Amino acid sequence: MPVNILMPALSPTMEKGKLAKWLKKEGDKVKSGDVLAEIETDKATMEVEAVDEGTLGKILVAEGTDDVLVNAPIAIILGEGEKLGDLPKAATAPVAKPAAAPAAAAAPTASATSAPLPKADGSRIFASPLAKRIAKQKGIDLAAVKGSGPHGRVVLKDVENAKPGAVPAAKTAGMPQGMSDEAVLKLFEPGSYDLVPHDGMRKTIARRLTESKQTVPHFYVTVDCVLEHLLPLRERLNLQAPRDKDGKPAWKVSVNDFIIKAMAMALMKVPDANVSWTENAMVKHHHADVGVAVSIPGGLITPVVRKAETKGLTQISMEMKDYAARARTRRLKPEEYTGGSTSVSNLGMMNIKNFAAIVNPPQATILAVGTGERRAVVRGNDIVIEHQMSVTLSTDHRCVDGALGAELLSAFRMYLEDPGLMLV
């Protein structure tokens, strides 16, 4: 019997993706394991493999189509002897490639079909044609209406029970409360700007960080770390790296590698801070899986160094070099950038002295790292020059309160200022 190829969920948080490229065409024979298409998520580009053999009978989603919902049919594979004409027309109707539109798109007319409407956050509103028409007549924003139909679809009775003028509780991330896209654009002179539609990564970053700041009670603690012992040790380690025939070293340990290791060791020393929050229980992690923010075009991604407390500095260094290279080409696997029990965000290389990062749920902590610099400090009755770096720990106060956060940050500073302790 015909087999539907569905839009896969390539990560636990994926809701939709872009069908970037078809690698097979209609009429091609396929077998289990053949790569059919490439899918772009907000974080990576992945391949879709066939799980059955047969003939690629129909492509339902065209190349370049954005915002294809997870589990939506994207193609049909026909078995031996089956023909496309034997299937119901509805089953073989292709999904039209959505046309690019500016942020200030026109409102749907009364003749609109049941195709989903866009919400401000880039997700979709599913509503019946009659519900859309009545909502427009009553001045009701469908984004504010909870659907009672199949899969949350808004039907007529939902609109009839809604109050005229209802507006959605959540507005576009970053926009002043109550201002629509159209209202924002009216503030600027026509022709004085370009509209650059948000891609999947930017939408996901906006949604997740807005949710974090709205739902996670943040608490911040900051310390200055002295690097007088770390920098000479780093130099000695790098001098010991074996070199190939071209003189290229096998590794080059960075200050950030020390930071990853120190954060992992600190979480092992203060296990009550190595946690995640759920409504019914505290998740206490057995290992320190440290996510490291990597800037890529259009946003950032956070590959995770698993069991970082068990790894040496050179291993962490080589792992991060590989992660960073594949992150920039969006070739990381979902299991390489999901999960994690904490994160590190380092803007020191950009000469940022200090900053506070936003917790990335379900993690409970994130360390923001500033630049290392020579500072004049008072030691006893003397003023001395020391190489120092400011770091700020952001915590989810539901599970890591101020005292516990301070204990964790003190342990981190101990390992960073006396890095030999990380080598025993």
Close Cβ partners of 97 (under 8 Å, ≥ 6 residues apart): 62, 63, 64, 65
Amino acid at 124: R
Strand, coil or helix: 219? strand
Q: How far is residue 393's CA from residue 356's CA, in Å, rounded to a whole number?
A: 7
Provide the 8-state DSSP code for 211. Answer: H
- ∠ CA 380-384-385, nearest 5°, is 150
**Active-site residue, 397 included:** yes
Q: How far is residue 306's CA from residue 206's CA, in Å, rounded to a whole number?
A: 26
Close Cβ partners of 114 (under 8 Å, ≥ 6 residues apart): 126, 127, 128, 129, 132
Within 208-285, strands assigned E span 218-226, 275-277, 282-284
Q: How far is residue 101's CA from residue 211's CA, in Å, rounded to a whole number?
A: 26
Q: How far is residue 47's CA from residue 128's CA, in Å, rounded to a whole number?
A: 34
Close Cβ partners of 146 (under 8 Å, ≥ 6 residues apart): 152, 154, 158
Of these residues, 151, 218, 229, 397, which one is catalytic?
397
Q: How far apart are the first and last CA of the chain?
A: 61
Cis peptide before 12 (omega within 30 of 0): no
Alpha carbon 44 to chain centroid distance?
Answer: 10
Close Cβ partners of 253 (under 8 Å, ≥ 6 residues apart): 234, 237, 238, 313, 314, 317
Amino acid at 122: G
Token look-up 């610099």 returns: 373
Q: Which residues does the annotation mark as catalytic?
A: 397
